[in-house]
Chains A and B, each alone.
Chain A
Amino acid sequence: MSQSVFFMFATLPLLLQGAVVAILITVLSITLGFIVGVPITFLRIYGNKLGRGFAYAYEWVLKGLPVLVTLFILYLGFPKLGIQIGSFAAIVIGLGLRSSAYQAQIYRGAVLSISTEQTEAGLSLGLSRFRTFFTIILPQAFRLSLPGFTNEFTIVLKDSPLAYAVGIVEILKQGRDITTTRGHTFAVYLACSILYFALFQLFYFLFQQLNKKFAIPGFIFSKQ
């Protein structure tokens, strides 16, 4: 038993190297999700019929696919079409596109939760529709979407181990490589889970601080 505990500590340096990769995958995927998700949000809310339809279909399809399947399509299927995607790019695109669908939903919910009276007030003060949106609606919507965003971030973090399927050495794959030659299956996977949980807590804490910092003073959610 004590040997296993010792072994858990011995695996830490390798697992921490994996953690760096896991964080990189998560941050890049979330950012890709943001870059794609925000325009999808706009299309869904402000687009014409065609735009709204496209955004709807986009969310619908990507939310319905398991990431592992998307990953294999990108990594092993796309080369058949003459498009080579590296393993790291494949996992970032796979996780990022799925995240974009969920992020679009989060931002849409936040934008729609801001009452139309605010837009009317902005317009009646002589602001353009564009300025009303960017100076009044969006800053509030960003704050409102932070809790949902935090959730999405941790979900992507917890899905990052899928990268091992295409040979990226993140936390889980480091752990597997250790058990291949040295055994201690339970100790190694326990060490992995503790590390994932620690990362989860770290980011959860960071986003909560951000949430506090950007909280709207005196904001009341409902009039009741």
Chain B
Amino acid sequence: MKTLSAIRPLLLLVALFVSLSFISCGNSGGQKVLRVGTNAEYPPFEYKSADGKDFQGIDMDIAREIADKLGYKLEINDVQFDSLIPSLMAGKFDMAMAAITITPDRQKQVDFSDPYYTSNQAILAKNASTIQVNSLDDLAKLMVGCQNGTTGQIYMDDNLVKPGKMKSDNLIKFPTNIEAIAALNNGTIDALIIDDPVAAGYQKMQPVKKIYVIQTNENYGIAFPKGSKLIGKVNGILKDLMSSDKFNDLLHKQDSTKMQ
């Protein structure tokens, strides 16, 4: 039974790995762990450092500050944006930070901290593009890309597609911004709707330009599972942070960071 005896050590090894992977899922160690969910594909709010080791960006710096003040160890989990709220509801994380706009629909599912950032929606086009957008009606005639589940997508659907001003085939919903930006560069779409500060981030790293801004005055908040006991404490920490110079430095750091 040569085949079986060859498999046996492998089985042992695998059993070890499996048991290890299950152990690592628990919160071992004495220090409490703050499990933060994010979608690190969204500079300048959250992205991976060039060596792939660290999570960087405005949200990540705020998360570090919060964990620090709470005296918790920070654990960042990187999942898809549209999985963040389901993950919170499934108890995977203690909070989610991913430039999440506070909306009434989302508030039905999760609780939010006080707002920590105000943003608008921007329209991006290729540098070489001659397209001009001066109104929503101009936008309705274009092939527009968006990331599914974002407020940009919801805005386009609510204000242009549902009222019948724009063909639903002309609004292309991508799973993430990575595909959307690639489609813009390839010419598959004419324009991309995206949060304004993120548009500014992409302008620095990709051959794209901002051609229009829709004033939506959205507020970003930290999302928590309903009834989380952390919200009060985190709001306190946020308030202190935002009234300090540290917050300005933290935003400024991203302005001056060259991503390339």
State A88–B20 Cα separation when bound (angstroms): 11
Question: Are A180 and B22 in contact, CB atoms less than 8 angstroms apart?
Answer: no
Chain B interface size, as a band, is 35 or more
Question: Are A176 and B17 in contact, CB atoms less than 8 angstroms apart?
Answer: no
Given A17-B52, A180-B41: A24 and B182 interface contact (C-beta under 8 Å): no
B80 within 8 A of A: yes
Given A86-B21, A185-B182, A185-B185: A28 and B14 interface contact (C-beta under 8 Å): yes
Least distance between B62 CB and chain A CB atoms (Å):
19
User: What residues on A are CB-neighbors of B11 within 8 Å?
Assistant: 31, 35
Question: Are A167 and B77 in contact, CB atoms less than 8 angstroms apart?
Answer: yes
State A92–B25 Cα separation when bound (angstroms): 14
The prevalent SS among residues of A at the interface is helix
Q: Which of B104-163 contact A (CB under 8 A)?
A: none
Partner of A143, one of B3, B21, B90: B3
Residue of A nearest to B177 (CB): A180
A174 within 8 A of B: yes
Given A24-B17, A92-B21, A174-B52: A180 and B178 interface contact (C-beta under 8 Å): yes
Question: Are B83 and A86 in contact, CB atoms less than 8 angstroms apart?
Answer: no
User: What residues on A are CB-neighbors of B47 within 8 Å?
Assistant: 177, 180-181
Question: Are B14 and A31 in contact, CB atoms less than 8 angstroms apart?
Answer: yes
Q: Which of B20-65 contact A (CB under 8 A)?
A: 21-22, 24-25, 40-43, 47-48, 50-52
Question: Are A86 and B22 in contact, CB atoms less than 8 angstroms apart?
Answer: yes
Partner of B83, one of A24, A28, A138, A166: A166
A212 within 8 A of B: no
Question: Are B17 and A169 in contact, CB atoms less than 8 angstroms apart?
Answer: no
State A31–B182 Cα separation when bound (angstroms): 37
Least distance between A208 CB and chain B CB atoms (Å):
16
Q: Which of A41-98 contact B (CB under 8 A)?
A: 72, 75-77, 79-80, 84-89, 92
Least distance between A75 CB and chain B CB atoms (Å):
8
A179 within 8 A of B: yes
B260 within 8 A of A: yes
User: What residues on B are CB-neighbors of A92 within 8 Å?
Assistant: 18, 21
State A1–B215 Cα separation when bound (angstroms): 40
State A179–B179 Cα separation when bound (angstroms): 10
B235 within 8 A of A: no
Least distance between A201 CB and chain B CB atoms (Å):
21
User: What residues on A are CB-neighbors of B176 within 8 Å?
Assistant: 176
Question: Are A86 and B41 in contact, CB atoms less than 8 angstroms apart?
Answer: no
User: What residues on A are CB-neighbors of B43 within 8 Å?
Assistant: 180-181
Q: Can you identify 11 A-B contacts, CB atoms within 8 angstroms? A: A76-B86, A76-B92, A89-B21, A165-B83, A166-B79, A176-B178, A178-B48, A179-B178, A179-B182, A180-B40, A214-B2
A interface vs B, CB < 8 Å?
14, 17, 24, 27-28, 31-32, 34-35, 72, 75-77, 79-80, 84-89, 92, 134-135, 138-139, 142-143, 165-167, 169, 173-174, 176-183, 185, 214
Further contacts, 15 of them, CB under 8 A, given A79-B91, A180-B42? A28-B18, A31-B14, A76-B83, A76-B92, A84-B92, A87-B79, A134-B1, A139-B1, A167-B79, A179-B178, A180-B40, A180-B48, A180-B177, A214-B2, A214-B3
